[in-house]
A and B are shown apart, each in its own frame.
Chain A
């Protein structure tokens, strides 16, 4: 028997977290007398900020190590996962790995009766608005919390790692038992609060826990997957000389007016997206000029629409926008599609402002570039419609 764990993480920000979870599954399973090993999807290694990446751990009570390696190792990607861990719930919208694999469902590898274990503040039903249907039953388990997003290549020691181990023990004790998790964490760190964090996570996912955080997902739950899974071409179908089509020249004013690469969008990289109050915009052009991914389309009336499929959520536009509350970064799971915000606003400006303010909510979450500090949360405010708004003071502009 083999048990496979997949850890979906955000490139760079959760790199060490993903690897630590894989390593500790091996250590704990070994202490339980099982064979185990762990690896990452190697091609993800030169990962970029926020790119969805994967780490794996494999456990077997009966196979010798070489056979376990032969079954699960030396492969680009695993075929199936008993537990698919999702360290940031915005990846439920799909993940687009390297190499033009297209946007893949987050639960693609989850086996029948397996479990999608998601770190989230949302309910299973809210996440299932983004997750593709499976032809069989599986479980979705929510480990209550915000995504642990560290700085560049560092680990943010916020106990997410310990809680994930406890969570795995709860949803599939054949991989690692909670007792083994606790004893391992105690032996390794001598810090009781780490073992307690794992235990608390474990308890929160038990059947009798209130509120219930594990839901059985049936073939009726979830959405029809909106993204086409690309079929990779045969050798004689490919262009010779490692040539791939690039962006065709073409530019028109308005939404989707400039040509972009249809084959590689990277939109699943974002955890937040810029929400715009067009009525506050001074048409200063900075968002359009500074966007590293050229996501802004100029419109005939001097505004800048956003093509969210290409936005990686870097936050540069919100950072350079001189007007308070004009461009604000908002949790990606607030949005079910990538429709043009400018068209929405043009159609019904009052309805749009109400809609966008609803998405923005009260909290303004930002990720300072200082390594390891993670997120900061401040309170936002609702600006009156169409008024001339005071430009942000210098000290309020993040550097």
Chain B
């Protein structure tokens, strides 16, 4: 391995076999290897490109064996993945930004066909103008289509969530496609020391993919997605809803099983992580790599006696409605950090804000809530930025009006 420097560590034993220097993309590739994926379809677009690079290298180096198909576009790429999944091959794809959007038709039908491949989305701003930096609107585009969608914050989580993702997606109670999103550049291209699980441990955790009665095979004659019209679509949507509801339970199961094999890596409620929230009065909630500066700001503000905390939302679909409502209604004020936009939507909030605010509406104790638009197009979100967000949120506790409801962070003005 040229980029990822293999480093033998004496304290590594059990489920992890070694520690490598890997960026987010390479970590995903290792996850794909350990998941023993059968079919990979690829088409380049930055920042996802490095995932396909890493995978092709693993195959070329003889470390991994899979069908590796270069498609002529994302649309074909996603179709190949979908079809491979339908014949019971564990399949993998991925993209970024406008490439992801270009394959949208295939992405939508993969969900309706209830197939469970895993796609990585290296979040990227939607061109125009040409921009490589992170923005979450690309992955968010599938949020209402019947997908599983989660964000990771480190290469370690990225690797592990390839395994966890397949485990949840392929569960017969779920069988939904899995979107594994990660911040472009900040995570995809950020190298960290990553503990790499052993093949045996990965195998122990992740069962074989078995589409069973829905496997497309001459011995199991079925038609998938014929023209059905008005008399069938609504029932199919209802099935999709049921699967999304069941997924909430399966996600918990999967993390518990993962902890059993790999040690207590993740803690309940799994869908999100809380940091220093026990006695907090004011919290921020965000998605992705903003967690690092936000948690650092929390630590520093705590030293000054301020009761602040941070909630890192990992699972966006299914949305952890009950758990998050219960959690956030403990606080006096919540600041929602959006690395996405929804211009012209109610109160012109970001997408995450809409989801959180909607989630809190039935809560008995609704906290004050404000919205931050920040880090768009790969703009920094620094410790100072997150500190500023905490301060604005603290002020919101006393406010009756909607003044300062939305603040753009890091904007030149």
The chain A residues found within 8 Å of chain B, CB to CB, are: 43, 46, 76, 98-101, 232-236, 238-249
Interface string of B226-247 (1 = CB under 8 A from A): 1111111011101100110000
State A244–B229 Cα separation when bound (angstroms). Answer: 14
A232 and chain B: residue at smallest CB distance: B231
Q: Is B225 an interface residue, CB under 8 A from the partner?
A: yes
Does B213 contact A239, Cβ atoms closer than 8 Å? Answer: yes
Report chain A residues within 8 Å CB of B230.
Answer: 43, 76, 99
Report chain A residues within 8 Å CB of B235.
Answer: 233-235, 238
- From the candidates A100, A101, A247, name the one contacting B221 in the complex (CB within 8 A): A247
Chain B residue total in the interface (Cβ 8 A): 28
Does B243 contact A235, Cβ atoms closer than 8 Å? Answer: no
Report chain A residues within 8 Å CB of B295.
Answer: none
State A246–B224 Cα separation when bound (angstroms). Answer: 9
Q: How far is the CB of A230 from chain B (nearest CB, A)?
A: 10
Query: Can you add 11 more A-B contacts, CB < 8 Å, to A98-B227, A240-B175, A242-B236?
Result: A98-B229, A99-B232, A100-B231, A235-B239, A236-B242, A240-B243, A241-B112, A241-B225, A242-B112, A243-B222, A243-B223
Report chain A residues within 8 Å CB of B171.
Answer: none
Does B115 contact A241, Cβ atoms closer than 8 Å? Answer: yes
Report chain A residues within 8 Å CB of B222.
Answer: 239, 243-246
State A43–B114 Cα separation when bound (angstroms). Answer: 24
B219 and chain A: residue at smallest CB distance: A249
Interface centre among B175, B229, B235 (most CB of A within 10 A): B229
Does B223 contact A246, Cβ atoms closer than 8 Å? Answer: yes
Does B114 contact A241, Cβ atoms closer than 8 Å? Answer: yes
Does B231 contact A76, Cβ atoms closer than 8 Å? Answer: yes
Does A241 contact B221, Cβ atoms closer than 8 Å? Answer: no
Q: Is B75 an interface residue, CB under 8 A from the partner?
A: no
Q: How far is the CB of A33 from chain B (nearest CB, A)?
A: 34
Report chain A residues within 8 Å CB of B228.
Answer: 99, 242
Does B221 contact A245, Cβ atoms closer than 8 Å? Answer: yes
Q: How far is the CB of A387 from chain B (nearest CB, A)?
A: 44
Q: Provided the pairs A99-B229, A99-B230, A242-B224 are in contact, do residues A249 and B236 lie with their beta carbons within 8 angstroms? A: no
Report chain B residues within 8 Å CB of A98.
Answer: 227, 229
The chain B residues found within 8 Å of chain A, CB to CB, are: 112-115, 175, 213-214, 218-219, 221-232, 234-236, 238-239, 242-243
Q: How far is the CB of B3 from chain A (nearest CB, A)?
A: 39
State A99–B227 Cα separation when bound (angstroms). Answer: 7
Does A235 contact B238, Cβ atoms closer than 8 Å? Answer: yes
State A267–B101 Cα separation when bound (angstroms). Answer: 42
State A101–B238 Cα separation when bound (angstroms). Answer: 21
A250 and chain B: residue at smallest CB distance: B221
Does A242 contact B225, Cβ atoms closer than 8 Å? Answer: yes
Does B214 contact A240, Cβ atoms closer than 8 Å? Answer: yes
Report chain B residues within 8 Å CB of A248.
Answer: 221
B86 and chain A: residue at smallest CB distance: A241
Interface centre among A100, A232, A243 (most CB of B within 10 A): A243
State A233–B238 Cα separation when bound (angstroms). Answer: 13
B239 and chain A: residue at smallest CB distance: A240
Q: How far is the CB of A74 from chain B (nearest CB, A)?
A: 11
State A100–B243 Cα separation when bound (angstroms). Answer: 25
Report chain A residues within 8 Å CB of B113.
Answer: 241-242
Q: How far is the CB of B245 from chain A (nearest CB, A)?
A: 13
Q: How far is the CB of A327 from chain B (nearest CB, A)?
A: 30
B113 and chain A: residue at smallest CB distance: A241
Q: How far is the CB of B175 from chain A (nearest CB, A)?
A: 7
**28 interchain pairs, CB-CB under 8 A:** A46-B227, A76-B230, A98-B227, A99-B228, A101-B231, A232-B232, A235-B236, A235-B239, A239-B213, A239-B222, A240-B114, A240-B214, A240-B239, A240-B243, A241-B114, A241-B175, A241-B214, A242-B113, A242-B224, A242-B225, A242-B232, A243-B214, A244-B222, A245-B222, A245-B223, A246-B221, A248-B221, A249-B218
Interface centre among A43, A46, A233 (most CB of B within 10 A): A43
State A232–B230 Cα separation when bound (angstroms). Answer: 12
State A247–B242 Cα separation when bound (angstroms). Answer: 29
Interface centre among B112, B235, B238, B242 (most CB of A within 10 A): B235
Does A99 contact B221, Cβ atoms closer than 8 Å? Answer: no
- From the candidates A236, A238, A240, A244, name the one contacting B226 in the complex (CB within 8 A): A244
Report chain B residues within 8 Å CB of A241.
Answer: 112-115, 175, 214, 224-225
B240 and chain A: residue at smallest CB distance: A240
